[in-house]
């Protein structure tokens, strides 16, 4: 009997975790719009509820009641599947992200590998969405998006290997524990920069938003999507940014550890600051050209990440030089 | 226990994603005009295009990606044991990366990384 009660509590905890993630994703859209407003010296959405706090709910309801279009050229099955894959691939990653030492879905020993595996499935959503729409802009956007995500996955993964070399473990809990006293950002400054750049490209946000690229491709692979199918892509994008913020916190900024405040608060503060940094970047930088984007990944970030990895490994093996 | 909550969580995620699409199909109206059935091309009548045609550069990028992705799987395992391997691990990974970089530099020299 006791075991059953424990199990029910555990499952309720998982549901709570999921609800927190969904709530965060919804309110990140509002935060981003408000902050972008401030950066551009305008108000941003502030009409629905006090300070616009009900805006994400209003958006959700509005999207649910929008016309659910499927163009007759589209391959219907894949057209419906693509947004589902996009969202599932990203949300599933959070199972390996603990919010504190105790509040998590599962403390996986292969957490980092699990996250890499699921987050790279997101490419299928972009590619399928672009291809199945039966629209030129969609196809171009999908191909560009897939090539971009795939190219930046390599520097991203190489930067992560640097963290693994230092921690000697793939488990998030152990990686966070290994940073007590000295955060990995101090031992991997170059790795952190590569991580931030590659992850912004993976999420397809502004300096790297060639996936959507309004003035060339209408909206890229999302062109033919409407209603909540479009909503799923949108949620997937913000969930990806949230995942990036959490990962940066755990891998480089010492995770939930910090003085005085409870672990959950530290996790929240650090992740919020990283998220704010992403908004800041979006408000500041213009978009790259596609050839610049590809050569940045292959000719600059990839060799740098490899060098960073080798130097880190050498310092770990021969600490007197480190 | 960890496995169970993981499976439960992924089930929750899939159910939510599929559920949202199903609910919006049920609640959202059907398109009113036939014109909405055509691909969006800024109002121009659509010109036929074979959807399977794309520049071969994307394919080359994909090939390069596969090579490096497999390399990274190997690096993850190596990173876990690099402390125990000592200098042997360093030399070994140096040789491995040197061979890989030779192929990479060849692709670079051949212009496979160039996008105009």
Q: Least CB-CB distance to B72: which of A150, A161, A310?
A: A161
Query: Would residue A8 count as lying in a domain?
Result: no
Three-state DSSP state, A62: helix
Cβ distance of A313 and B18 shorter than 8 Å = no
pLDDT digits (tens, 9 = 90+) for A93-128: 998 888 887 788 888 888 888 998 898 888 898 888
Q: How many domains does chain A have?
A: 1
**Residue B30 CB coordination number (10 Å):** 9
Give pTM, 2 decimals: 0.89
Cβ distance of B28 and A73 shorter than 8 Å = no
Residue ranges of A 183-202 with Cβ closer than 8 A to chain B = none
Distance (Å, whole) CA A214 – CA A39: 20
φ, ψ at A305 (rounded to 5°): -65, -40
Predicted local confidence at residue A274, as pLDDT:
92
Using the CB atoms, write b or e for A25-49: b if 16+ within 10 Å: bbebbbbbbbbebeeeeeebbeeee
Interface test with B, best of A170, A218, A313 (most B CBs within 10 A): A313
Residue A214: pLDDT band with limits 50, 70, 90: low
Task: Return contacts of A177-183, CB within 8 angstroms, 24+ apart.
Answer: A179/A254, A179/A255, A179/A257, A180/A254, A180/A257, A183/A252, A183/A253, A183/A254
CB proximity A317 to B under 8 Å: yes
CB proximity A106 to B under 8 Å: yes
Query: Would residue A28 count as lying in a domain?
Result: no
Radius of gyration over alpha carbons of chain B, in Å?
25
User: Under a CB-based contact definition with an 8 Å cutoff, are residues A126 and A211 in contact?
Assistant: yes
Helix (H) or strand (E) holding A216: helix A214-217
Distance (Å, whole) CA A170 – CA A114: 9
Look at domain B2-109 and name its CATH class: mainly alpha
Cβ distance of B6 and A161 shorter than 8 Å = no
Distance (Å, whole) CA A66 – CA A44: 23
Contacts of residue A290 in chain B, CB cutoff 8 Å? 115
pLDDT at residue B48 above 70?
no
Of the candidate ranges A82-86, A146-150, A183-187, the one whose mean pLDDT is the lowest? A183-187
Contacts of residue B82 in chain A, CB cutoff 8 Å? 165, 168, 313, 316-317
Query: Would residue A3 count as lying in a domain?
Result: no
Positive or negative CA dihedral for A209, A210, A211, A215?
positive
Interface test with B, best of A134, A159, A228 (most B CBs within 10 A): A228
Residue A322: pLDDT band with limits 50, 70, 90: very low
Distance (Å, whole) CA B47 – CA A174: 56
Burial of B31 (0-12, 13-18, 19+ CB in 10 A): middle
pLDDT digits (tens, 9 = 90+) for A11-68: 888 889 899 999 999 899 888 988 988 888 888 888 887 888 888 888 888 888 887 7
Give the ipTM: 0.84
Interface test with A, best of B15, B22, B28 (most A CBs within 10 A): B28
- Helix axis angle, A302-317 to A136-167, nearest 10°: 10
Portion of chain A with pLDDT greater than 70, in percent: 96
Query: Would residue A85 count as lying in a domain?
Result: yes
Residue A275: pLDDT band with limits 50, 70, 90: very high
* Residue A177 domain boundaries: 71-321
Residue ranges of A 272-301 with Cβ closer than 8 A to chain B = 290-291, 294-295, 298-299
Residue A195: pLDDT band with limits 50, 70, 90: very high
Between residues A226 and A59, which one has the greater pLDDT? A59
Cβ distance of B79 and A161 shorter than 8 Å = yes
User: Under a CB-based contact definition with an 8 Å cutoff, are residues A156 and A115 in contact?
Assistant: no
CB proximity A308 to B under 8 Å: no
User: Which CA distances in Å does A308 have to A113, A115, A165, A303?
Assistant: 20, 22, 11, 9
Contacts of residue B23 in chain A, CB cutoff 8 Å? 64, 228
User: Which CA distances in Å does A191 have to A196, A289, A316, B54?
Assistant: 9, 24, 15, 34
pLDDT at residue A170 above 70?
yes
Predicted local confidence at residue A89, as pLDDT:
92
Predicted local confidence at residue A215, as pLDDT:
62
φ, ψ at A124 (rounded to 5°): -60, -40
pLDDT digits (tens, 9 = 90+) for B69-96: 888 888 888 888 888 888 888 888 889 9
């Amino acid at each position: 009997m006791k075991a059953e009660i424990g199990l029910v509590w555990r499952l309720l905890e998982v549901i709570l975790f999921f609800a927190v993630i969904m709530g965060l994703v919804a309110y990140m859209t509002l935060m981003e719009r408000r902050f972008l407003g401030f950066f551009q010296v305008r108000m941003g959405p502030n009409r629905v509820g006090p300070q616009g706090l009900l805006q994400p709910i209003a958006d959700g309801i509005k999207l649910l009641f929008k016309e659910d279009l499927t163009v007759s050229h589209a391959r219907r099955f894949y057209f419906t599947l693509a947004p589902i894959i996009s969202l599932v691939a990203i949300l599933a990653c959070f199972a390996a992200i603990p919010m504190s030492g105790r509040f998590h879905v599962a403390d996986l020993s292969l957490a980092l590998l699990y996250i890499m595996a699921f987050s790279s499935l997101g490419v299928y959503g972009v590619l399928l969405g672009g291809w199945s729409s039966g629209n030129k802009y969609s196809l171009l956007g999908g191909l560009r998006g897939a090539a971009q995500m795939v190219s930046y996955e390599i520097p991203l993964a190489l930067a992560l290997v640097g963290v693994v070399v230092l921690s000697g473990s793939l488990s998030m809990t152990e990686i966070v524990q290994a940073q007590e006293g000295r955060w990995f950002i101090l031992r991997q400054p170059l790795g952190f920069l590569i991580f931030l750049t590659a992850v912004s490209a993976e999420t397809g946000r502004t300096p790297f938003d060639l996936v959507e690229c309004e003035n060339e491709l209408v909206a890229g692979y999302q062109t033919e999507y409407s209603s909540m199918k479009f909503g799923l892509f949108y949620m997937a994008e913000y969930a990806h940014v949230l995942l990036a913020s959490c990962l940066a916190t755990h891998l480089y900024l010492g995770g939930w550890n910090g003085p005085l405040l409870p672990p959950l608060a530290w996790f929240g503060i650090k992740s919020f600051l990283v998220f704010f940094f992403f908004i800041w970047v979006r408000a500041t930088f213009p978009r790259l050209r596609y050839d610049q984007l590809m050569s940045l990944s292959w000719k600059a970030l990839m060799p740098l990440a490899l060098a960073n990895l080798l130097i880190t490994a050498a310092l770990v093996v021969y600490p007197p030089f480190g | 226990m960890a496995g169970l909550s993981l499976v439960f969580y992924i089930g929750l995620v899939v159910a939510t994603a599929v559920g949202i699409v199903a609910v919006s199909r049920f609640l959202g109206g059907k398109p009113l005009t036939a014109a909405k059935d055509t691909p969006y091309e800024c109002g121009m009548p659509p010109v036929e295009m074979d959807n399977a045609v794309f520049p071969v550069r994307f394919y080359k990028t994909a090939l390069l990606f596969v090579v490096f992705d497999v390399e990274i799987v190997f690096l993850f395992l190596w990173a876990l044991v690099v402390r125990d391997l000592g200098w042997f691990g360093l030399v070994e990974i140096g040789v491995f990366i040197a061979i890989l970089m030779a192929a990479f530099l060849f692709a670079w020299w051949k212009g496979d990384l160039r996008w105009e």
